[in-house]
Amino acid sequence: MSLTKSELVEIFRKLVLIREFDLLAIELRKAKRIYGAVHPYVGEEAVAVGVCAALRPTDRITSTHRGHGHCIAKGADINRMMAELFGRVDGYCKGKGGSMHIADFAIGMLGANGIVAGGMPIACGAALAAQLEDAGKVTACFFGDGATGEGEFHETLNIASLWKLPLLFVCENNRYGAGNAVESVRAQADITLHAPAYGMPGIAVDGNDVLAVRDTAAEAAERARRGDGPTLIHCKTFRSLFHAMRDVPPPETRPDDLLAAWRGRDRDPITRLEDHLIGGGTVTTAELQQIRDAVKRDLDAAVAFAEASPYPDPNDLLVDMFAE
């Protein structure tokens, strides 16, 4: 499916924004300007951006512990995201959530989640609501390869297929669950094979090709909107950096040749789209540089916004516990 130039440029901008946001988060964390854990999405940007490019603003998503990319792809405000990382009151969760619990229900982003597969039942619930409302909304449920080891993965695939829920199960197979290679924890390495077992289509896609991800997600979303049920989209990608850091990034333990192969210009999701767009004459190098410059300015502004925001008042500790 062909996209307009402005759509392609926006896809490129979001890839770059996610990449730079997380690289900046790592530096901010090393400098102890933000708190907690950082789980960088570097290398996997095409999955979130490709899937969300196929969604409508009223569609919903659930995310994971590695959730910054999903937030940005769905349209979250980076100022409020950054303020949350800084633990400030203007953050999405007023400083109560932090990196692993960013949500923006107003844009259908139902939350990052610190528990592997924890968001999957919630995504099914959102899809059930959409089915009952019959308003053509779909839910995209992002999860990693590690989630396939959890009961919630199997339970939700079964129920979603049984009830024909309007869902996209988006598996980000980045080849490692924390420090463990996929083949070391799965008896059957091919995650796509879970789909036929639960009576739904399973499609493997190059998760570093944002346009391929977008087309696959668009087809799955159309199927879901028709009432034909969920699709398992197996996005083959790679976590370019570490699983998580607190004060300092952990040492790299994965093979050098694997890292080199996935970080190459022909495989990295950003340079790959860049070469495609320039090679096809869609945009110029100068135009892409303008986008990169604008992203840097936006991120500088986000940090300034976050630092200008006050810390939450300890007197508000009990606020937001229960709804009226």
Partner 1 sequence: MREITFAQALEEALIEEMERDERVITLATTRAPGLENKFGDKRVRFTPISEAAFTGIGLGAAGSGFRPVVHWGMVTFSFVAMDQIVNQASKIRYMFGGQADFPVTYRCTTGGGMQVAAQHSQSPYSMFMHLAGLKIILPSTPADAKGLLKSSIRDNNPVVFFECSRLASTTGPVPDGEHVVPIGVADVKRAGRDVTVVGLAYYVREALAVADTLAAEGISLEVVDPRTLVPMDADAIRASVRKTGRLVVVDEAPATCSAASEIVALVTEDAQTFRALRAPVQRVCAAPVPVPFSPPLEQAALPDRVRITTAIRRVLA
The footprint of partner 1 (CB under 8 A) covers 60, 62, 91-97, 101, 103-106, 110-111, 113-115, 118, 120-130, 132-133, 151-152, 155-156, 158-159, 162-163, 319-324
Place of tokens 């499609």: 203
Place of tokens 């799965």: 186
Residue closer to partner 1 (CB basis): 126 or 213: 126
Residue closer to partner 1 (CB basis): 187 or 323: 323
Residue closer to partner 1 (CB basis): 87 or 269: 87
Residue closer to partner 1 (CB basis): 94 or 239: 94
Please give the sequence-ordered ranges of beta strands (E in DSSP) within the chain, or none if there are none.
Answer: 60-62, 139-144, 167-173, 176-177, 180-181, 202-206, 231-236
Residue closer to partner 1 (CB basis): 176 or 198: 198
Phi-psi region of 176 (alpha: psi -120 to 50; beta: other; left: phi over 0): beta
The distance of closest approach from Cβ of residue 95 to partner 1 in the complex, given in angstroms and rounded to an integer, is 8
The distance of closest approach from Cβ of residue 153 to partner 1 in the complex, given in angstroms and rounded to an integer, is 10
The distance of closest approach from Cβ of residue 324 to partner 1 in the complex, given in angstroms and rounded to an integer, is 7
Helix (H, G, I), strand (E, B) or coil at 177: strand
CA angle 269, 169, 83 (to 5 degrees): 60
The distance of closest approach from Cβ of residue 60 to partner 1 in the complex, given in angstroms and rounded to an integer, is 7
Place of tokens 């007023």: 94
The distance of closest approach from Cβ of residue 118 to partner 1 in the complex, given in angstroms and rounded to an integer, is 6
Q: Give the span between the Cα atoms of 176 and 194, in whole angstroms.
A: 18
Q: How far apart are the first and last CA of the chain?
A: 47
Residue closer to partner 1 (CB basis): 94 or 223: 94
Distances from the Cα of 61 to the Cα of 34, 132, 143, 302, angstroms: 26, 17, 11, 23
The distance of closest approach from Cβ of residue 97 to partner 1 in the complex, given in angstroms and rounded to an integer, is 5
